[in-house]
Amino acid sequence: MNSALVIGEGFLGCALIEALVESGSDVTGTSREALSSKLYLDMTKPIPPLPQTDVVYICAAISSYRLSEGSPKAWVTNADAPVAITRQCLERAMFPVFVSSAAVEFMSNAYTRMKLYAESCIIPMGGAVVRPRKFTPDNIGNLCHLMIRVGLDRKPGVYRWP
């Protein structure tokens, strides 16, 4: 059995948690709500010590292109915090899997520049980056299975989906 921490419980994070539980993993989720029963984690604040797990999936993002433009909060959430989390993971023998975007390969805007910056730090440190294309309720399960496989294999690099 693997243990996993999923940071960011939006559409992808929730689906990933469900897939990890189905695969037999012990999973912890995070929440920006301090009164939640989940681990409190606000990506815009200094990253506290994370619970020890085998794999940490970094799914949190401000993914709106419009909201990312000129936003210090978006920069911290999409770039600085994932790098800090990756650094902490690798110092503690936890494997980080960062969810980026396939758009970094063909588009330049504030959001993709943030994701590319994070990738440029995470990959040399020894983390994994998953670059998904658009995911929907019909295909998100396949993306989750790829992410779980990346976490199990623990091989650094870039993984494109599909």
- Kindly list the averaged pLDDT for each block of 10 residues, start to end, along the chain of length 162: 90 96 95 77 94 97 88 95 98 98 94 96 98 94 97 97 91
What pTM, to 2 d.p., does this model score?
0.95
> b/e map of 22-47 (b: 16 or more CB within 10 Å)?
ebebebbbbeeeeeeeeeebbbeeeb
**pLDDT at 35 (0 to 100):** 67
> How many CB atoms neighbour CB 124 within 10 A?
9
Topology of domain 3-161, per CATH?
A: Rossmann fold (3.40.50)
In the chain, the amino acid numbered 141 is G
**pLDDT at 37 (0 to 100):** 67
